[in-house]
């Protein structure tokens, strides 16, 4: 491989990491929009009050900033897709994932527009959030796979039995964490955050008041979903440490355990502080961070092999000299 191609591939990985970080910032900005109830601060779309940069007051500082960050993420996604298609043309996994990311970002933009046009219906807003989290998982996956396509990961052996066992632990945790984030979006957009009042850990004096209304049931589904995710993550952490897996994977699942416990703590604090802005923002951001961390753990446990062996440019040069 020519040195120029090697460094191009390094650039693809670094740009994919930057796209994932920008997407996380976008999720934080989106959380601020819903937390401050600024979703209709800009009554039109894609401009705001007919301007590209309106006066950033009365909620527009949250809503329009979210749009600007979303535009930047969309542009980065399209650039990343073009980079992968150009330099990893023979890698079907990466090219398909990058195309899927580009499709998701378009769908996400259309859902954002529909949210404004229909005046924030709960089902559209929740679908908007669910799509955003799916997109985040895809770009985090791209960041990990482009890393695993780097020369130092080429040809790394993986025990198929160990991979199957780890997949059985990690995939349920990833699925539960994603569903929990989606439930959180439904709870937020149906205004069910304080459906149990300031009662915690009980709800209206009961563990689960079955005779309460739908809003209370949505709140409780999210609350108990958090406990279920915590159990899955803690069980995963115990399994990884018991099997003595690689240090990076052990660190990832240990961080996941810390994140899920912090997430429950901030969830309780959100109720007890009457949905205070910073507490709610940290709570929702930790949910996204936990999901990304579990996706990282999956690819650390089940690395994806490149379609062809790669070597650093110095090794390539040495091999060429030996051949000559």
| Per-residue model confidence as pLDDT tens digits over 201-224 | 889 888 998 888 899 999 999 999
Q: What is the pLDDT of residue 306?
A: 64
From 149, 175, 209, the end of a domain falls on: 149
CA distance to 69, 107, 118, 126, 218, per residue, from 123 (Å): 23, 15, 11, 5, 13
CA distance 56 to 60: 5
Q: What is the pLDDT of residue 283?
A: 93
Is the same domain home to 301 and 272?
yes
DSSP 48: B
Is the same domain home to 172 and 203?
yes
Is the same domain home to 109 and 162?
no
Residue 132 domain-assigned (yes or no): yes
Q: How many domains does the chain have?
A: 2
Is the same domain home to 89 and 172?
no
DSSP 304: P
C-alpha of 249 from chain center: 18
Which residues make Cβ contacts (< 8 Å) with residue 20, sequence separation at least 6? Answer: 136, 139, 140, 142, 143, 292
Residue 308 domain-assigned (yes or no): yes
Is the same domain home to 121 and 241?
no
CA distance 128 to 111: 6
Low-confidence ranges of the chain (pLDDT < 50): 1, 155, 309-324
Is the same domain home to 127 and 220?
no
Q: What is the pLDDT of residue 244?
A: 66
Residue 318 domain-assigned (yes or no): no
Is the same domain home to 32 and 127?
yes
Residue 275's domain spans which residues? 156-313
- Which pTM value belongs to this model? 0.87
CA distance 52 to 105: 20
From 99, 134, 149, the end of a domain falls on: 149
Residue 324 domain-assigned (yes or no): no
CATH number at residue 181: 1.20.120
Q: What is the pLDDT of residue 87?
A: 77
Q: Helices in 118-246 by DSSP H: which ranges?
A: 122-148, 160-189, 214-243
Is the same domain home to 210 and 71?
no
Residue 251 domain-assigned (yes or no): yes
The pair of structure tokens assigned to 222 is 């999210």
Torsion angle of the four alpha carbons 140, 30, 120, 287, in this order, in degrees rounded to the nearest 10: 60
Closest by Cα among 24, 12, 146, 140 to 86? 12
Per the CB < 8 A criterion, the answer to whether 177 and 290 are in contact is yes
Q: What is the pLDDT of residue 319?
A: 46
Is the same domain home to 217 and 272?
yes
Q: Which three-class secondary structure state does DSSP give residue 206?
A: strand
Q: What is the pLDDT of residue 152?
A: 61
DSSP 303: P
From 149, 175, 196, the end of a domain falls on: 149
Residue 285 domain-assigned (yes or no): yes
Q: How many alpha carbons fall within 13 Å on the CB side of residue 320?
A: 10
Is the same domain home to 220 and 160?
yes
Q: What is the pLDDT of residue 222?
A: 95
Residue 107 domain-assigned (yes or no): yes
Is the same domain home to 172 and 305?
yes
Per the CB < 8 A criterion, the answer to whether 111 and 131 are in contact is yes
Is the same domain home to 34 and 164?
no
Question: Residue holding tokens 């569903």?
Answer: 179
Q: How many alpha carbons fall within 13 Å on the CB side of residue 18?
A: 14
Q: Which three-class secondary structure state does DSSP give residue 9?
A: helix
Residue 115 domain-assigned (yes or no): yes
């Amino acid at each position: 491989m020519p040195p120029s191609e090697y460094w191009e591939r390094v650039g693809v990985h670094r740009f994919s990491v930057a796209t994932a970080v920008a997407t996380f910032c976008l999720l934080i900005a989106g959380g601020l929009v819903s937390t401050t109830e600024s979703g209709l601060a800009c009554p039109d779309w894609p401009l705001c009050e007919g301007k590209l940069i309106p006066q950033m007051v009365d909620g527009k500082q949250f809503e329009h900033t979210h749009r600007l960050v979303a535009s930047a993420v969309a542009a980065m996604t399209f650039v990343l897709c073009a980079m992968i298609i150009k330099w990893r043309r023979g890698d079907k996994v990466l090219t398909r994932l990058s195309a899927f990311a580009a499709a998701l970002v378009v769908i996400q933009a259309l859902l954002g527009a529909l949210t404004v046009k229909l005046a924030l219906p709960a089902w559209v807003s929740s679908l908007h959030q669910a799509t955003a989290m799916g997109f985040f998982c895809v770009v985090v996956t791209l960041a990990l796979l482009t890393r695993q396509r780097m020369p130092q990961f080429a040809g790394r052996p993986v025990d198929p039995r160990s991979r199957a066992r780890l997949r059985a632990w990690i995939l349920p945790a990833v699925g539960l964490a994603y569903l929990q984030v989606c439930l959180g979006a439904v709870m937020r957009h149906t205004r069910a955050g304080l459906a149990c009042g300031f009662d915690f850990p009980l709800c209206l004096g009961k563990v689960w008041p079955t005779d309460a209304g739908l809003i209370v049931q949505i709140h409780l589904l999210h609350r108990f979903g958090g406990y279920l995710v915590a159990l899955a993550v803690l069980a995963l952490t115990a399994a990884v440490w018991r099997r003595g897996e690689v240090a990076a994977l052990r660190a990832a699942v240990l961080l996941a355990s810390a994140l899920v416990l912090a997430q429950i703590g901030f969830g309780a604090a959100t109720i007890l502080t009457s949905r205070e802005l910073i507490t709610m923002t940290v709570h929702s951001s930790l949910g996204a961070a936990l999901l990304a961390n579990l996706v990282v753990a999956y690819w650390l446990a089940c690395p994806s092999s490149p379609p062809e062996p790669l070597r650093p440019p110095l090794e390539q040069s040495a091999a060429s000299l030996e051949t000559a």
